[in-house]
Amino acid sequence: MRIHITYTGGTIGMVESPHGLVPGADMRGWLRRLLDDAHMDPSLISFTELNPLIDSSNATPDNWQTMIDDLRAHRDEADAFVVLHGTDTMSYSSAALSYALTDFGKPVVFTGAQHPLGKIESDAAANVAGALNAAMQSVGRFHGVGLFFGQHLFAGNRVSKSSSWAFEGFSSPSSEPLARTGTPWHWYAGIAAADGCGWRDPKPYARHDVAVIDMAPGITAARLEAMLTPRPEAAILRAYGVGDVPSDEPGLTDVIADALCDGVPVVIASQCQQAEVLLGHYEVSDAIARAGAIGSGDMTLEATYAKVMFLLSQGVDAADFGRWMSTSIAGEISPRSL
Ligand code: ASP
């Protein structure tokens, strides 16, 4: 089986510098030794090192598109794909790629590490071996974008970084993993849930002005208005619980309604890791529901943000935004949330 590896940066290939960790390890040489030890034929593996390699904290939608371009350029040369990526924004990238690659037809598996390769305490070798194995085993089973970390393979648009230090650094709070490692690996039944309606001929990702704003007890209408000025192209408000906002705060729900009136799609997400947003379930969200705010269902913040960026890049306008946010494009939202 042929595998293409796209290396984007991240701790996995970092070295010490006077100012902290930076990309710089010999990833190509390290991978060659790992594959030799696993008796994998190196002629079946192709490798791209993106330039520049980045700390994924610096990733933008332009970097998502660079990854997509590399995967598409190698599509016919490989059966499965692995993307080596920093952990900080890996779940944003994996969600973003899931929307843009619904027509790709081959598995793509992201992974990274909490410690750089070559360190005795590193999880790099285990994660890369797991991702290669996941990518190969996915052929014929799962052809979307996945994320392997620790002992689990997750759907790339259902996963969040949940720990800055644990070897099980990712979790998918609203859906079960696709598989877990072990002897043998166990594949869960819900893989079909990764299906969505797809998107034909996606336009490239471009950067758009999307505001992500947290509610917090005591937030005022003036503060919220300031955060929405000048008007962004879309806003994601991270509310409480099932999408609740402090409606007794004078003028606060009017600020949200005014932004909607100005043509800004306002998506209401939840600060709960495991959430199903149900606008209008409580009276506190009734006014914004009636004003046209869009609930994010059970999507992760990463899947929600990447989807907003995807829809803006496709030129979807405010009138169609709500419909698309609640439609499963690549399995990112559960049917019960639709
Ligand atoms: N800051 C690093 C990055 O996201 C963290 C990591 O890779 O674990 O690139």
Tens-place pLDDT, residues 36-92: 999 999 999 999 999 999 999 999 999 999 999 999 999 999 999 999 999 999 999
56 lines ligand 1 (CB under 6 A): yes
What atom of ligand 1 comes closest to residue 10's alpha carbon?
A: 9
pLDDT score of 338 more than 60: no
Percent residues over pLDDT 70 in the chain: 98
Determine whether 11 is an active site residue: yes
Tens-place pLDDT, residues 140-159: 999 999 999 999 999 999 99
Determine the angle formed by the axes of helices 27-37 and 124-138, rounding to 10 degrees.
70
10 lines ligand 1 (CB under 6 A): yes
Q: For residue 253, count other CB atoms closer than 10 A to its CB.
A: 23
What atom of ligand 1 comes closest to residue 89's alpha carbon?
A: 4
The confidence score (pLDDT) of residue 189 equals 80
Tens-place pLDDT, residues 118-131: 899 999 999 999 99
pLDDT score of 337 more than 70: no
The arithmetic mean of pLDDT across residues 218-243, rounded, is 98
* pLDDT band at residue 239 under the 50/70/90 scheme: very high
Beta bridge partners of 267: 236, 294
DSSP 187-209: E-GGGGGG-----SSPPPP----
**Mean model confidence pLDDT for the chain:** 96
8 lines ligand 1 (CB under 6 A): no
Taking the C-alpha atoms of residue 188 and residue 128, their distance in angstroms, rounded to an integer, is: 21
66 lines ligand 1 (CB under 6 A): no
Q: How far is CA 298 from CA 106, 143, 241, 295, 304, in A?
A: 26, 22, 11, 9, 9
Q: Is the pTM of this model over 0.85?
A: yes
Burial of 43 (0-12, 13-18, 19+ CB in 10 A): exposed
The confidence score (pLDDT) of residue 193 equals 47
What atom of ligand 1 comes closest to residue 12's alpha carbon?
A: 7
Taking the C-alpha atoms of residue 41 and residue 326, their distance in angstroms, rounded to an integer, is: 44
pLDDT score of 192 more than 80: no
Q: Which residue is catalytic, options 6, 8, 11, 102?
A: 11
* pLDDT band at residue 201 under the 50/70/90 scheme: very high
What atom of ligand 1 comes closest to residue 88's alpha carbon?
A: 4
Angle at 165 between CA 19 and CA 179, to 5 degrees: 130
320 lines ligand 1 (CB under 6 A): no
For residue 273, how far is its CA from the centre of ligand 1 (angstroms)?
21
- Judge contact between 297 and 331, C-beta under 8 A: no
Tens-place pLDDT, residues 244-272: 999 999 999 999 999 999 999 999 999 99
57 lines ligand 1 (CB under 6 A): yes
